[in-house]
Structure formats: structure tokens, C-alpha cells
């Protein structure tokens, strides 16, 4: 980033990260901006779409979202929240793989 680009960034109210130092060769005050690369974040994987929200999985987290209409009232929303949580937990359970019997037959677990 040259001096003109730096000044334009600062005049536009942007924050510029870098290092300010006195150059030993020239004795002038020098600013060197960090060349930061934007992180490209992997999109969250949808595990299950629920009636009132979703369950998603990212690299580090499991995210559960639920949104319920206000006009349903406390008791009905509390019941729906329990159902929502149960469905989310069910979606996160690992499902066992079928076991081969040997002749192309499979045993499936439910």
C-alpha cells in the first residue's frame, strides 16, 4: 500500500493496521501496512431442517436455531421448544451403518 492509498483509507474513516517505525537507512518515519488476507469461512452444513428452525454443523460448533410465534402463548411455545430440542438431539445421534451378512444381505438397525 503506497502513501496515497493509505491516506485515502484514513480519510474515508477506515482503520489501517500496520507498523510505524523510523527507517534506519533513511532516518524517515515509515509506515508499513499489514497485507492481511480475508479469511474464507466454510459454509455451515445443514444437518436437519426442523419445523420451527434448523440444526447446522460448522467446523467447531453445532448450532441449533428455533423461532416461535409470540401469539402461541407460553405453554404452547414451551411444548414446541421441548419437541424442537428432542428433534435436534435426534438429528445429532449417530446412526449405525448396516452390517453385511456376507451374501449381499444387510442387517439394518432402527
Domain ranges of the chain: 3-33, 45-92
φ, ψ for residue 64, nearest 5 deg: -120, 125
The distance from CA 3 to its chain's CA centroid, rounded to whole angstroms, is 36
Helix or strand or coil: residue 24?
Answer: coil
| pLDDT over 80 (residue 109) | no
* Mean pLDDT, residues 32-44: 85
Residues 70-85 have a mean pLDDT of: 92
Amino acid at each position: 500500500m503506497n502513501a496515497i492509498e493509505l491516506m485515502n483509507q484514513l480519510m474515508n474513516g477506515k482503520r489501517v493496521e500496520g507498523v510505524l517505525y523510523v527507517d534506519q537507512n533513511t532516518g524517515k518515519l515509515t509506515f508499513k501496512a499489514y497485507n492481511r488476507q480475508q479469511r474464507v469461512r466454510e459454509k455451515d452444513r445443514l444437518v436437519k431442517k426442523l419445523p420451527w428452525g434448523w440444526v447446522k454443523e460448522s467446523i467447531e460448533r453445532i448450532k441449533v436455531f428455533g423461532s416461535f410465534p409470540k401469539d402461541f402463548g407460553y405453554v404452547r411455545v414451551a411444548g414446541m421448544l421441548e419437541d424442537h430440542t428432542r428433534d435436534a438431539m435426534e438429528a445429532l445421534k449417530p446412526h449405525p451403518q448396516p452390517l453385511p451378512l456376507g451374501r449381499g444381505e444387510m442387517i439394518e438397525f432402527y
